[in-house]
Amino acid sequence: EADIYQTPRYLVIGTGKKITLECSQTMGHDKMYWYQQDPGMELHLIHYSYGVNSTEKGDLSSESTVSRIRTEHFPLTLESARPSHTSQYLCASSGRGRYEQYFGPGTRLTVT
């Protein structure tokens, strides 16, 4: 069983606020990912990292930014939240030489 954590689980915030979604894993995985998922829809990769100080944009354009200063931590930041950012954000990780991805419980973000 994977140990990957996301906080907060639910967030309701007003337009224009800066937010940071936290993601941590305790498995020492080198690769980490952020996905965005609208209700009833498929997941889209928005950011990924192959290790410390490595970050890349994914297949879906996103106004969010990420950082990877520590192996276990991969936070996502929105500088100015908008209603169009309302969605579920899922963090995942996978180990060196492995393909299986393990997901956190997700953060449901609502921007009013």
Could you list the residues that contact another protein (CB under 8 A)? 2, 31, 33, 40-45, 48, 50, 58-59, 88, 90, 92, 94, 99-103, 105-106, 108
Q: Decide whether 24 or 94 has the Cβ nearer to another protein.
A: 94
State the minimum distance, in angstroms, from the CB of residue 8 to another protein.
14
Q: Are 4 and 94 in contact (CB under 8 A)?
A: no
C-beta of 65 vs 102, nearer to another protein: 102
